[in-house]
Amino acid sequence: MARPLPTFDAEAAPAEPGPLFVDWLATALAAGVPDPQVVTLSTVDADGMPDARVLVLRDVDAAGTGWVFSAAADSPKGRQLAVHPAAALTVYWPQLGRQVRVRGTVERAADLVAAAEFATRSPAARVGALVGRQSEPLASLDEYDEAVAVARRRLEATPDAVAAGHAVYTLWAHEVEFWQGDAERRHIRLRYTRTGPVRTPEWSRTLLWP
Ligand SMILES: Cc1cc2nc3c(=O)[nH]c(=O)nc-3n(C[C@H](O)[C@H](O)[C@H](O)COP(=O)(O)O)c2cc1C
């Protein structure tokens, strides 16, 4: 971390974590961080074994408590979330020396919401989702290419087709930590802990030892 990094005035931080996350994300975008909206989602499977993968964060809800992502409900992560509807979301923006960690419970949105979100996706993304079978063993790339061709034809014939099992999830944060690295190792860590109900929470803020 021996490079110029932004400062973080934790005492001036907003009362809620959502606006601070959006501010840091916008700063990461402006700083040219590649794919700053790609985050690591960690889940737990039915045997209690952790799993993690990156995916695209779709939104942070207006009240700043819900982190929204979409996924196939019949993928490993979707099945894990069905068994354990809780997750952690982590992102690191190296150019800024900033990490954010979010933990909370996960709620799957109604199918109507998922269908509306699906319609906003690019044709290529919709074709990929229509192909489905994510994370299943694949016999050959030819088999995949054939499935893509079938999905393309389906989308051309029915442009509002929605992939079966396409799901939108909201991670309702109960804890959010902001970490600002410092060249002298005087890292600043600020943790928000939810004290009120999920959708209208209040937050307490605590500095953490680095
Ligand atoms: C940069 C990047 C972005 C990705 N975005 C998504 C995404 O938005 N949704 C998704 O389901 N998988 C995404 N993936 C693929 C996942 O990391 C993962 O391979 C896939 O979702 C299967 O995960 P699972 O087997 O745990 O369900 C992305 C991968 C990379 C490298």
Over residues 136-166, the pLDDT tens digits come to: 999 999 999 999 999 999 999 999 999 999 9
Euclidean distance between CA atoms 12 and 193, whole angstroms: 17
77 carries a ligand binding annotation:
yes
pLDDT at 2: 81
| Residues β-bridged to residue 90 | 40, 101
| Strands (DSSP E) found in 47-165 | 50-60, 66-72, 86-93, 98-108
Q: How many residues does the chain have?
A: 210
Domain contains 29 = yes
- Expressed as residue numbers, the domain containing 47 is 10-120+163-208
Cβ(37)–Cβ(22) under 8 Å? Answer: no
Q: With respect to residue 5, please indicate whether it lies within any of the assigned structural domains.
A: no
Residue 155 covered by a domain? no
Residue 181 neighbours by CB distance under 10 Å: 22
Residue among 182, 185, 189, 188 at smallest CA distance from 4: 182
Q: What is the mean pLDDT of the chain?
A: 95
CB 197 within 8 Å of CB 93: no
Q: Is residue 141 part of a domain?
A: no
Assign 177 a pLDDT band (cuts: 50, 70, 90). very high
Q: What is the pLDDT of residue 173?
A: 95
Mean pLDDT, range 15-40, rounded to an integer: 96
Give the position of tokens 């001036």: 12
Percent of the chain with pLDDT over 90: 92
Using pLDDT thresholds of 50, 70 and 90, give the confidence band for residue 63.
Answer: low
49 within some domain? yes
Q: Is 99 annotated as a binding residue?
A: yes
Number of domains within the chain: 1
Q: How far is the CA of 53 from the centre of ligand 1 (A)?
A: 6
Whether the predicted pLDDT of 21 surpasses 80? yes
Kindly report the protein residue whose alpha carbon is nearest to atom 6 of ligand 1.
55
Euclidean distance between the first and final Cα of the chain, in Å? 14
Higher pLDDT, 61 or 69: 69
Residue 180 labeled ligand binder: no
> Does residue 58 carry a pLDDT above 90?
yes
Cβ pair 73, 82 in contact under 8 A = yes
Residue 144 lies in a domain: no
CATH of the domain at 56: 2.30.110.10
Do residues 175 and 105 make contact, with C-beta atoms less than 8 angstroms apart? Answer: no
pLDDT of res. 201: 81
Question: Ligand 1 centroid to 70 CA: how many Å?
Answer: 10
Helix, strand and coil in the chain, % to nearest 5: 30, 35, 35
* Amino acid present at 165: G
Kindly state whether residue 140 falls inside one of the protein's structural domains: no
Residue 146 falls inside a structural domain:
no
Work out the pLDDT band at 19, boundaries 50, 70, 90: very high
With 70 as the cut, is the pLDDT of residue 62 above it? Answer: no
